[in-house]
Structure 1
Amino acid sequence: MAAREILADFPAGGPRGSWPAEEKAAELTRQGQPATVRMDLASDRFLVVPVGERS
């Protein structure tokens, strides 16, 4: 399995109504580094990765 670049990661069980991974991805995108969120089921975490990064 190829290594992937992870810009940030957050636990899946965050507080209700809180979307920290999506907020981080939006912040990075505004700063010029397009990012998106992927779910890593094995670790039960949301990963912020560069746009186009394969899962």
Structure 2
Amino acid sequence: MSAVSVADRLAHAASHGPARTVEPPRPTRTVLERFPAGGPRGQWPAESFAAQQRRDGVPARVVMDLDSDSFLVIVEAAP
């Protein structure tokens, strides 16, 4: 069994160039509508709106915006 020294591992890593740190492009989001999180009990207006959009052919979905405490109905598009 051969042991690889720390220096050998560092030299091997250095020979492969810098590590990739660039994140892949994120899809752009378009907000169609905002709904307050404190809606009436048993009501889901954001989900209802998104469902209607999907019935109309728009690939809408609901996400939560924690900073504004609201639900957003969004459409994502590739960059």
Question: Alpha-carbon deviations, 1:14-46, whole Å to 9, x = none?
Answer: 000000000000000000101000000000000
Q: Which has the higher contact order (CA 8 A, sep 6+)?
A: 1
- Does residue 14 (structure 1) correspond to residue 17 (structure 2)? The answer is no
1:28 matched to 2:53? The reply is: yes
**Count of residue pairs the alignment pairs up:** 50
Tell me which protein shows more helix as a share of its residues. 2
User: Structure 1 counterpart of 2:34, which letter?
Assistant: D
Larger Rg belongs to: 2
Q: TM-score, normalised by structure 2?
A: 0.59
Unmatched tracts of structure 2, length 5 or more: 1-27
Return structure 1 stretches of 4+ with deviation > 6 angstroms.
none
| Structure 1 alignment gaps of length 5 or more | none
